[in-house]
């Protein structure tokens, strides 16, 4: 048996289960941000990813007709949320206000096109390119774990595009002989879950080391002393001698 995406929703158990799994991973990363680093942009990123993929899970589990207005609305908003998550992640790479605006505007425009005009394929291509660029930036900054995480998500989008028929359907039925059990959507979600998990681990390591990723090139918090207060550099260069009044 096979799934015809033009006539029915992908209701494979593995599809909506992995959707919820991605939502759960993102939710765990969000909780970690709330309790440890408290980076507002990363909190927004993981929140939007969690909501977006959880909504997609609801769509794949409970709707069978792609023309159903309620199901279509849920699915389009789920894709829109994941697109809006991108600028939140990109904001952690720079503190330049103008650059942040330049990053936000196209992402908001793509999210609007998804919801208003149902341009989900364009959104997938946009996410693929965005995650690829983000991976390169992290690699340049030598933040290997984050680079691997976002590169894994990029590969997931490539896999989804190849096997969903956007580029070709050459080996889809060979790789997924029973697409009602497991198909390219479930495989894509696994890549996304692994990528988000790697990014979450990178944030956890930074939180334990007392570092942040607030700007391009990285910025570090001062290490805490034994009393839990930020260490202060009391070297002679910081406090040059002054002339005695006596």
The model's pLDDT over 22-74, given as tens digits with 9 standing for 90+, comes to 999 999 999 999 988 789 999 999 999 999 999 999 999 999 999 899 999 99
Mean pLDDT of the chain, nearest integer = 85
- Measured CA to CA, the distance from residue 89 to residue 114 in angstroms comes to 20
Residue 235 forms part of a structural domain? no
Residue 86 forms part of a structural domain? yes
For the chain, how many structural domains are there in total? Answer: 1
- Measured CA to CA, the distance from residue 139 to residue 152 in angstroms comes to 13
**Structural domain boundaries, residue 55:** 13-220
Residue 128 forms part of a structural domain? yes
Residue 5 forms part of a structural domain? no
173-182 burial code (b ≥16 CB/10 A, e <16): eeebeebeeb
Residue 132 forms part of a structural domain? yes
Q: Which pair of structure tokens corresponds to residue 113?
A: 């096109």
Residue 140 forms part of a structural domain? yes
Residue 36 forms part of a structural domain? yes
pTM of the entire predicted model: 0.83
Helices (H) and strands (E) in the chain, counts: 8, 2
Q: Which pair of structure tokens corresponds to residue 9?
A: 């929703």
């Amino acid at each position: 048996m096979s799934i015809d995406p033009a006539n029915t929703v992908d209701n494979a158990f593995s599809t909506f289960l992995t959707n919820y799994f991605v939502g759960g991973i993102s939710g765990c990363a969000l909780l970690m941000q709330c309790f440890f680093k408290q980076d507002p942009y990363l909190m927004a990123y993981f929140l939007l990813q969690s909501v977006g993929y959880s909504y997609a899970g609801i769509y794949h589990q409970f709707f069978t007709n792609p023309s159903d207005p309620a199901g279509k609305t849920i699915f389009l908003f789920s894709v829109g949320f994941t697109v809006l998550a991108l600028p939140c992640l990109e904001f952690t790479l720079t503190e330049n206000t103008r650059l942040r605006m330049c990053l936000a505007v196209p992402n908001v425009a793509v999210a609007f096109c998804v919801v208003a005009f149902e341009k989900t394929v364009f959104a997938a291509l946009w996410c693929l390119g965005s995650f690829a660029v983000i991976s390169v930036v992290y690699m340049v900054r030598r933040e290997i774990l984050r680079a691997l995480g976002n590169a894994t998500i990029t590969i997931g989008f490539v896999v989804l595009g190849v096997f969903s028929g956007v580029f070709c359907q050459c080996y889809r039925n060979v790789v997924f002989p029973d697409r009602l059990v497991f198909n390219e959507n479930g495989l894509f979600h696994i890549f996304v879950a692994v990528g988000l998990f790697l990014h979450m681990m990178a944030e956890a390591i930074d939180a334990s080391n007392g570092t942040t990723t607030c700007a391009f090139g990285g910025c570090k918090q001062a290490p805490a002393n034994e009393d839990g207060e930020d260490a202060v550099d009391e070297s002679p260069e910081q406090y040059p001698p002054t002339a005695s009044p006596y």
